[in-house]
Structure 1
Amino acid sequence: MAAPAEGDGLSSLGTGGGGTTHNTVSGDAVVVGPLLMAQHIEGIRLPPAPPDAPPGQAPPPSRVFVNRTKELSDLGDAARALAAGPDPGVLMVVGVGGVGKTQLVAQAVRRELVQLFPQGQLYVDLEDLRQDGVVDLAAVLGGFLRALGVNNDYVPGGLAERTALFRSVTARSRLLVMVDNVQHAPEARALVPPRGLLVVTGRRVLPSLLMDGAVLIDVAPLEEAAGTELVRRWYADADEETAADVVRLCAGHPLALRAAVEWLAARPHLTLDDVVRDLTAGRYGTGDDGAREAMGAAMGASEGPGEGGVGEAVEAVLDSVVAGVSEETRHLYGLFGVLPGTTATADLLRAAGATRVDEGLGELLSSRLAVLVESADRPRRYRLHDVVRAHARLRARELPEARRRAVLRLVVDFYADAAAHADAAVLGDRFRIQPPPLRPLAELGLRKALFTGGAEALEWLDAERVNLQGAIRVAAGQGWHQEVWRLCESLWALYHSRKHLADCVESGFLGIEAAQHEARPDVEIRMRNHVARAAYELGDLDRAESQLDAATGLLELAGDPRLSGVVWESRGLIELARGRSEQAPHAVGERAEQARQLFERALAANRAVPDRHGVVVQSYNVAQALVAGERWSEALGVLDEAAEVARATGDEPMLLRIDLVRAHAFVGLGSLERAVTATVAAADRAAVLKQFAKLDQALELLAALADRAEDRPLRAACEEKLGALRRTMGLRPPAAPPA
């Protein structure tokens, strides 16, 4: 069923001046004079425009930066050459993990690139979003579009649509896009700005990008002299020979050097000689050959300076640094190695069994093992550097399997309860199969709630998206079937609102398997319908239909009639979509009639519960099918009945949708005046409810109606308001109509 939405009332459509004639029509609409209609559209309030400031997402540069003169010069020369050309450019910065690629680019941005590309910088680290080697590029583009000021209501669901919108929004912008940890050329190609520069970092050269014209910048570990200078800047009392020893033991790797010196800075009673002794003593005594090989592979390293490879050197440094922190912090570090996702909050770590979490996180941050992650939601988020994360996961392999499993169970249980609370906050009392979570929301957040209200809950879900997907995979792998489908059901609030449709399909199939293991046909129906709705929005109607075929075969085993309702509704939507692609009028009519019958079955299922909101939604769908079948008068009758129930229950969002369909029915009957009035009412409601995508639809329809009625004031008012709306929503204004 459609979820209930919150509204804040409906402003009445006034007539404006004395002596104006008007006639009451179906619903709330009134017919007023053309000039007053135009004045009313002009008076619709839009939200304030977002600040006219370009995004500045580039990572901050460090004040201590040495011996990258050649790389900076090469990067600057290439950027200037690419900026001077008419086509977008690509720079590929390659080096082993943690060698300083991101910092090199950050320095170049501050020194020169910010002037070359003044429309802003976008940034993403694909390692934070990679799941089983794959990155959801649609999610990356969705984040970019929101950072560019595009309202979420205007962000489409599919990758192709998001790519097209990204190119449209940035078509006239000299924009810099930075992407860390690119592993495959298609990941880069999808994110190239039309007139800007894409800078990607990675651990290996991608030949196909070079064939596309990308410029390669190679970043090697620091040479001994430069590394020694860096160590002495951090630790001024170090003599040159001891500093050089540290550089050799760290294989010139900046991340290892930084970790070693930060470790020393936290122990003022020790000297740099102690660091050298510790690394020398521990270098060959920790880890095994398999672990070292895995560490090198995680960094993308081959043999490097010194007696061993770069991976071995970094492993030795990290072993020493971790050995020197407190026992609680080592435990926390081990938890990071077990967690299924990429980031963690203090509340999650506590739920996973950590103690003295704040002190441990502080020590990990000061040791440069962990970093803070920017996020739109409330809790502070932490993650390990990707090289450090690889080390933590290697060390976590040493834990007993029972211990790892116990930690994962605590993590999955935390996410299952938290996601259920977030779902309830976002979608209210919609129909759910799972019972309410046993733990209250306040128990999941130690100092303050994870979120308050639907908006914050949605941001929390989005910030946790990769972690939640990881939790679903872990639960599926461990055979915790109930937690799999509970999480899948709760995440519909995220999938539907933020259009993470690929995630919905993937998790939905895991949910189907979990339901089958538990012999829960009701859950399987729900999961298959989730997959079907995501496939439907992605335009894959065949996949959607195949899932609904399987769900239909289970309906006799389902107890709640609402499960039948959701299946018939989804089938009806598919029929309408297929009808829109038909060419022959009789085929369109047949599809519309099939859709009407399916929606009637969904309506009957909702009446059987009874679910009044579901009754309104399915009546609205029946009317849509009647309009598609050109049965205008019947559609108006159904809409009037639905509007009566919606007014009685305060269902303002559905009244808005009813007005829009009513307008199309009036157009079909040839009553342009009433169509205009219904559309103005829809625009009015949409503005009050802040449903700006619906306001956009209403204004577009109204402009077309005004054009047909040769109402120039109303047409001009709609075009002006539509342009203002789209600018406010982060889009380009509509093209001027032909003269």
Structure 2
Amino acid sequence: MGEHSGGASAVTHNSVSGNAVIAGPLVMAGRVESLTLPAAPPCVTPRQVPRPSALFVNRAEELQKLRAAESDRGAGRIIVVSGLGGVGKTQLVAHWAARVLEQSFPGGHLYADLEEVRRDGAVDVGGVVAGFLRSLGVHPEFIPAALGERTALFRSVTASRDTLVVIDNARQAAEVRPLVPATGLLVVTSRTKLPALSMDGAVQIALDPLDQGAGVELVHSWRVADSDGAAAALVRLCGGLPLALRAVGEWLARRPHLGLNDAVRALGADGLPRLEDGTTSVNAVLDMAYMSLPAPTRRLYQLFGWLPGTTVTGSLVRAAGVPDADEAMGDLLTANVAILVETADRPRRLRLHDVVRAHAREVVRELRDAERDAVLRAVTDFYVAAVAHADIRVLGPGRFRLQPPPTRSLDELCANETLFTNGAEALEWLDAERGNLLAMLRIATEERWYDAVWKLCESLWPLYHSRKHHADSVDAHRMGIEAAQWTGRTDVEIRMRNQLARAFYGLGSYDEATRELDAAGELLGSVTDTRLSGMIWETQGLVALAARRPEDAHTLFARALEANAARNDGHGVIVQTYNVAQALLAGGRPQEALDAAGQAAALAVESGDDAMLPRLGIVQAQALHRLGRVEAAAEAAMRAAEQAAARKLYAKLDQALEVLGEVAASAEDARLRAACEAKSRELRRDAGVPSGE
């Protein structure tokens, strides 16, 4: 790359006036056409809807309504299934989805439980859409940051494939409107009818409790003996709620010497109590089921009550001190009060039914606060170490970090299962834990475990940055700033404010980013580590560049470059020189930009920092193009494309092809331009992005 930069400077300047010539146009076009793209990931059609339970009876009428709505649907039809908690809404949809012919929804079945992504009552809809896009094969580098852009891409991706989307536990119409596929069906479950969706043509299906005949059939499926009509009494006492009836069944399964009359007597003459809003509480039955569980399983049940999140893995359960973790998890599955959650990451995840989770929180109210604190502290410590390991896997051990490496290895932390083995798996694990981690940060902040708070925030940077979870990042780093202030760690506060500013920068909120950076800048005089100064100046430069203030950006990047050079940070010097080159280019100084990019490229080749070469090559190509040196510009862009392809850098490859296409257009090289456009379409197709996006 260094020789290439020197050679480029010796090329005669061409005038980009419509008669410029790229030497060997057929050869250049052939290089583009023969470019080997990164291998597309295996095409896996998502089937995410929870598996149906075997204990399911007499919902023929509702199933028929679902079938009728499915067969009669138009583009983007919506079905709302409403009913009491525990009435079986999710099971109804799961049974229907299992019976739907695969060809009815060749795009796949997508699923999300909004309770898992609800924060203080609000839902991170953008995060749900991003998860759906990844499940449909869109490469993360091509998923935009803004909700509107994500929704538009989701509609484009689903326009050519019939897709089923199932959303559990919706509370408002606004939470689900962005999730309607362009072609296919959206099925929403809710405790209310969401009348606002009627304006969108939604079909309403109300799911009532089981009538006596259906309830008796369910009871007889697990306990046949019913000599004196106790099953009918049991159905009445349970209010016809399948969840309550299954919980009674679990209670009896652990007491084979008892019969249905014993269960009736245990419930009492009044059966399930009524709540203030007139709905039925299943807590009396869940109390019975809970007390019938073995001691380790009760401990796991309590853990669900204490945890602020919604899912657990075996490693977390063991870290919390639950004995016989695998058996306890199996018991909750067998009891039909928990389900397995399918995620892209490696470990098995368990989630309680939302009604059961609410009961678990009632159960732990009776337990000592000291027990809760000890369990949550153990869980927090587990997350601090595991997330730190994930950060190291994703960004490598050389990243500047204020916290020391974890004292326990990943094998010691997770002795019975593998959380992740490489950076890609670590990122998937972090994404699957995203809701749990943000909820845990809130608990740690409330408990004043401030060291844990800022360490988690620092380690979550690769997740928030690479997956563009900017809203989560804003919430997390505000807590991180508070933690830094309470612990008197000025260096930590600077880092937290910088990472918060990067989140605002990603959202395009440059004023907010500037406020955080100004606050951090006022603290720089209190620290001696120049890397912190360089970090702030770099982000200030990025904001200035985005705000079209290239001269300010150049000054700031130059200061960041000096700070990295003072620490002999080779990678930092290359990155900041690249930033300087970008600012010079944006400021209309292409020759200086070319010189800076060439210097950085030479350093990158010398140090083996190959990942920076495509970025630098793109800047060189753009600078050469502006200087009218078309042949050299084409060669620089072509090399950048080849380097990006070799390193599976999808976005940089796409950008290099775009620059090369622009160079070809200015030289009126139709063959080369067509080759670039064709290869870009192929790249985007492999990355799951429809043509035209």
Quickly say closer, same or farther: Cα 1:372–1:53, change in 2 above 3 A.
closer
Q: Following superposition of structure 1 onto structure 2, how do residues 102-113 of structure 1 map, counting pairs within 5 Å?
A: 102-112=90-100
Conserved in 1, the CA contact under 8 Å of 2:81 and 2:206?
yes
Determine if contact 1:722/1:733 at 8 Å carries over to the other structure: no
**1:525 and 1:382, CA in 2 relative to 1: closer, same or farther beyond 3 A?**
same
Question: Once the 2 structures are TM-superposed, how far is the Cα of residue 50 of structure 1 from its aligned partner?
Answer: 4.7
1:322 to 290, 293, 306: 290
The 3 A distance-change label for structure 1 pair 621 and 130 is same
Picking from 679, 701, 720, the partner of 2:659 is 701
Query: Cα deviation per residue 1:676-723 (whole Å; 9 max; x = unaligned)?
Result: 100000100011000011111111221222122122222222122112
* Alpha-carbon separation, structure 2, partners of 1:194 and 1:606: 49
Cα distance in 2 between the residues matched to 1:526 and 1:238: 67
Within a 5 Å distance, the mapping from 1:51-450 to structure 2 comes to 51=42, 54-81=45-72, 83=73, 85=74, 87-112=75-100, 116-239=104-227, 241-280=229-268, 302-303=277-278, 310-311=280-281, 314-428=282-396, 429-450=398-419
Distance in 2 (CA, whole Å) between partners of 1:441 and 1:58 is: 31
Structure 1 position 556, deviation (Å): 0.6
Bigger Cα displacement from structure 2, 618-627 vs 406-415: 406-415
Aligned positions of 1:615-626 closer than 5 A: 615-626=573-584
Deviation at 1:446, TM superposition (A): 2.0
Q: What TM-score, normalized to structure 1?
A: 0.88
**Which range is displaced more, 158-167 or 264-273?**
264-273
**2:423 aligned residue:** 454
Per-residue deviation, 1:645:
1.3
147-156 or 165-174: bigger deviation: 165-174
Aligned equivalents of 1:124 and 1:55: distance in 2? 12
Any conservation in 1 of the 2:315–2:417 contact (CA below 8 Å)?
no
1:652 — aligned with what?
A: 610
Structure 2 unaligned blocks of 5 or more? 12-21
In 2: Cα distance, 1:47 partner to 1:570 partner: 31
Matched residue, 1:287: none
Specify the alignment match of 2:526 in structure 1: 557
Q: Residue 283 of structure 1: CA displacement? A: 6.0
Check 1:54–1:346 CA distance in 2 against 1; reply closer, same or farther (3 A cut). closer
Q: Counterpart of 1:288?
A: none
* Cα distance in 2, alignment partners of residues 239 and 706 from structure 1: 86
Change (3 A) 1:256 1:355: same
Correspondence 1:44 to 2:44: no
Alpha-carbon distance in structure 2 between the residues aligned to 1:571 and 1:641: 23
Query: Are residues 631 and 439 of structure 1, via their aligned partners in 2, closer, same or farther at CA, if it must alter by over 3 Å?
Result: same
CA distance in 1, matches of 2:47, 2:421: 28
1:18 maps to which residue? none
Tell me which amino acid in the other structure corresponds to 2:26: L
Per-residue displacement from partner, 1:171-193 (whole Å, max 9, x unpaired)?
Answer: 23332211110011110111111
**In structure 2, distance between residues paired with 1:274 and 1:252:** 18
TM superposition shift of 1:245: 2.0
1:630 aligned onto 2:588: yes
Note if contact 1:90-1:197 (Cα within 8 Å) is conserved in structure 2.
yes
Q: How does 1:578-589 map to 2 (within 5 A)?
A: 578-579=547-548
Of 576, 595, 617 in structure 1, the residue corresponding to residue 553 of structure 2 is 595
| Aligned-pair CA distance for 1:481 | 1.1
For residues 573 and 501 of structure 1, what CA distance do their matches in structure 2 show? 16
- Listed one character per residue, the Cα deviations across residues 417-468 of structure 1 (whole Å, up to 9, x for unaligned) are 1111111111112111112222222221122443222122111111111111
Given candidates 630, 640, 648, the residue that maps to 1:672 is: 630
Deviation sequence 1:277-336 (CA, Å, 0-9, x none): 33339969xxxxxxx78xx58xxxx43xxxxx521xx11111111111112221221111
* Partner residue, 1:661: 619
TM-aligned CA deviation for residue 482 of structure 1: 1.1
Q: CA deviation at 1:49?
A: 4.1
Report if the CA contact (8 A) 1:722-1:734 is conserved. no
Contact 1:529 1:566 in 2 (8 A): yes
The 8 Å contact of residues 267 and 285 in structure 2, kept in 1 or not, is answered as yes
How do residues 414-563 of structure 1 correspond to structure 2 at under 5 angstroms? 414-428=382-396, 429-563=398-532
1:240 and 1:67, CA in 2 relative to 1: closer, same or farther beyond 3 A? farther
Using the alignment, how far apart are the partners of 1:185 and 1:113 within structure 2?
Answer: 28
The one-letter code sitting in structure 1 at the alignment partner of 2:491 is: D
Q: Distance in 2 between matches of 1:139 and 1:113?
A: 29
Distance 2:687 2:45 in 1: 15
Inter-partner Cα distance in structure 1 for 2:404 and 2:290 = 42
Shift of 1:112: 4.5
What is the identity percentage for the equivalent residue pairs of Structure 1 and Structure 2?
54
Counterpart secondary structure, 1:310:
coil
Deviation at 1:195, TM superposition (A): 2.7
Cα separation, partners in 2 of 1:321 and 1:281, compared to 1, 3 Å: farther
Contact 1:350/1:357 (8 A) holds in 2: yes
The Cα of 1:128 is off from its aligned counterpart by 1.7
Q: Matched residues in 2 for 1:103 and 1:239: separation?
A: 30
Distance in 1 separating the partners of 2:427 and 2:99: 37
Q: 1:259 to 1:32 in 2, by over 3 A?
A: farther
What secondary structure does 1:46 align onto? Answer: coil
Contact 2:254–2:292 at 8 Å: present in 1 too?
no
User: 1:239, 1:699 → 2: CA distance?
Assistant: 78
> Would you say the 8 A contact 2:661–2:672 is kept in 1?
yes
User: Matched residue of 1:190: which SS?
Assistant: helix
| Cα distance, 1:283–1:245 mapped onto 2, change above 3 Å | closer
Deviation at 1:116, TM superposition (A): 4.4
- Per-residue deviation, 1:73: 2.5
Q: SS state of the match for residue 179, structure 2?
A: coil
Give the stretch that moved more between structures: 242-251 or 273-282.
273-282
Partners in 2 of 1:281 and 1:440 — Cα distance? Answer: 56
Contact 1:67 1:226 in 2 (8 A): yes
TM-score, normalization: structure 2? 0.94
Single out whichever of 683-692 and 405-414 deviates more from structure 2: 405-414
Q: Deviations over 1:136-181 (max 9, x none)?
A: 1111011100111111111112212211211121223332211110
Deviation at 1:629, TM superposition (A): 1.1
Tell me the residue number matched to 1:569.
Answer: 538
Query: Secondary structure in 2 aligned to 1:91?
Result: strand
Does the 8 A contact of 2:50 with 2:341 survive in 1?
Answer: no
- After superposition, give the CA deviation of every residue in 1:380-408 in whole Å (9 maximum; x if it has no partner): 11121111100001111111112211211
Q: Give the counterpart letter for 2:537 in structure 1.
A: W
Measure, in 1, the Cα distance between the counterparts of 2:47 and 2:23: 48
Distance in structure 2 (CA, Å) of the matches to 1:72 and 1:112: 11
Distance 1:471 1:697, change over 3 A: same
Distance (whole Å) between structure 2 residues aligned to residue 456 and residue 27 of structure 1: 46
In structure 1, C-alpha distance between the alignment counterparts of 2:517 and 2:319, rounded to whole Å: 38
- Name 2:14's counterpart in structure 1: none
- Shift, 1:489, TM fit: 0.4
